Each structure stands twice: as structure tokens, then as C-alpha cells.
Amino acid sequence: MLMTSGLVPFRWQNARRPIATLAPMAGVTDASYRQLIKTLAPEVIVYSEFLSTDALAYGGKKTMAMMHFDPALERPFIVQIFGKKPEHFLEAAKIVEQMGADGIDINMGCPAAKVVSSAHGSALIKTPELAAELVHATVKAVHIPVSVKTRLGWDTPATLIPFCTRLVEAGAQALAVHGRRFTDKFTGSADWVPIYALKEALPSVTIIGNGDICCAQDALDRIGNLDGVMIGRGTIGNPWLCRDICDAFAGKGIHSTRDAMPFAQKIPFILEHCALAVKTKGERKGMLEMRTHLAHYVKGMDGAKDLRARLVRVETLEEAKRILEPFVACT
């Protein structure tokens, strides 16, 4: 059995409560972002971007590269996978375990049209038999824990408990539930009440709530009877949110690091994120992908429009430094 860096296998039931996790987000939670988050909040459990089991089973180089992680910096590290073929889940799970991940998460919640039209992601909510078969195929292939991320339901939360019960019976050790139905996409407010009911129905299972966590107070207000929270879009441009939430869970008070920190003090963290992106993906690709992050980092500051217009065109780390470092000198 593979061990974590502390020589103790990761198990969801042993994770310190309340659990804080960084949601898997396509185009966001790559190695550089995960490492930045772990630098700020070591307690946070991080996930990969979601990876195709079909591509993993066929040895797709791009997908295999997306599994890269630094064992010294990112544990516990969970790889999220998606697909619909049990035989590919079995093969993909073996690959994920062999590369050293601490756990596998199955995506049954993505509402993107391209994903759902292929019968992946949220579409699996409509085929609970197949969903359970995918969990079973993954569980029997590996020794590391298997979890599932899903939504309240397709068009009603009434199916949440029976659906998740089947997943647990198939071997899922933890469930992260986004508080919207598939039909909601990302509109309206997340509804956590059905997630609390799920925990009552499955008290021995690790249940994590997800949706509309934008500040530490949100996490405290919504944790309820759950084992943890999953933080997603609220971290984009505000990676300090994870630390704020961990501090709140640890009884260190409610605060917003982003709001309290002058922009000049944020710049070293922003440039560190850029440096990590360059280190993990090379300068051209790393800085190209950093443009979106840079645009979010400057949101709300004086002169954000002009600064954003310059940052979304950066091509090198040095260019980002030239644009940002004068703001440090002005303080």
C-alpha cells in the first residue's frame, strides 16, 4: 500500500475536522495553484483538475502530464477522474495509484454541456446503476480511498440520498456535494439543506459541502453537521481564502486576508504563483495560463482596468515583474 509523506496512508475518516478542501477546477487547480494554496494553508486537501479515464487508459501524454504533482508540497493529493466506461476506470485508477496519489475522486457533478452530452459528469446522476458500477470498478482496482463529487440531483434533490447511498454501498468513502441541481448550473444560491440531510442519513460517511463559500464566515455558517467544506471559485484571485477558513475552523478568528492586505503586500504572492507556473509548465505556457489569474488578482484595486489590460498580455515572468514591482516601490 502506498504511503503519504508521513508514512501513514491517507484516509478520509482520519482527516482532521472540519476538513477544508480545494475544489477541482478545470484550468485552475494545476500544480502551481495547488502548491500556492498549500503554502498559504498546509491543512487544505487539494485535487487535480478533472482527468479523462479514457485518455488515461490510452496513455494520453497531455492528460498524464496533468497528473504531475510534488509529493513534498501537495499531500494529501487527490486525483479527480471522469468518464463512463468501467474498464477504463479500472485502468485509470491503477495508473493514479502507481503515480503516488493519496486518493481518487470521481466527477459526477460537472454540468458543462460537452461533458454531460457524452454521458459524463452530472449525467451519471440519471444512471445510478452505472454510477455505482464506476465506483465499484475503481475501488476494486486500488488500495487508496475513492470519493465522489456530485450535485443535489438532476432536477430535484429528492434523489440525493438514494443516489449517494448506492455510491457508498459500491465503496465510496467520502462524498462532496455541490448545493445545486444540474438544471441550476451555477445560477441562484447553493442549497445546503439537502446536504445536511444526507449526512444524517449516512452518518459514518465523510460528507463535504460545496457552493458559494466566498469568505470564512460562509464556511462557519454552512458547516453545520458536515465533515468539511470544499472551496472553489471563491479562491480565484483570493488564494488567501483557504487560510482564512482554516484559521476560522481552528478558532483563530474571522478575517479576510485579501481585504486587509494592501495590494503591494500581495505582489510577492502573485509573483510566486507566476514562478510556480513557469517552473511546472515552462515560461510560455505557464505565463499564458497565468493571465486569467492575474486579471482576478487585481480586481477591486484602484486602476484595475488599466493594470488588467497590461497583465492579460504578459508573456514572461520578467514582464510580470516589471508591471507589478513599481506598485511595491510606491508604498
Q: What pLDDT digit, counting tens, does each position of 97-148 carry?
A: 999 999 999 999 999 999 999 999 999 999 999 999 999 999 999 999 999 9
pLDDT tens for each residue of 173-219: 999 999 999 999 999 999 999 999 999 999 999 999 999 999 999 99
244 plus 274 within the same structural domain: no
d(CA 294, CA 226): 33
The single residue of 110, 215, 242, 274 carrying the catalytic annotation is 110
Structure confidence at residue 329 (pLDDT) = 64
From 305, 307, 242, 257, select the one nearest 35 (Cα to Cα).
242
What total number of domains does the chain contain?
2
Structure confidence at residue 8 (pLDDT) = 83
d(CA 186, CA 31): 25
87 plus 226 within the same structural domain: yes
Mean pLDDT, residues 264-273 taken together: 96
> pTM here?
0.94
Q: How many CB atoms lie within 10 A of CB 58?
A: 12
DSSP state at residue 215:
S
Mean pLDDT, residues 10-34 taken together: 96
CATH number at residue 43: 3.20.20.70
User: Which residue range(s) make up the domain with 195?
Assistant: 12-258
159 plus 193 within the same structural domain: yes
CATH number at residue 308: 1.10.1200
**Has 274 been annotated as catalytic?**
no
Residue 1 belongs to a domain = no
Task: Identify the bridge partners of residue 13 per DSSP, sorted by sequence position.
Answer: none
Residue 6 belongs to a domain = no
Residue 177 belongs to a domain = yes
d(CA 29, CA 47): 7
Residue 78 belongs to a domain = yes
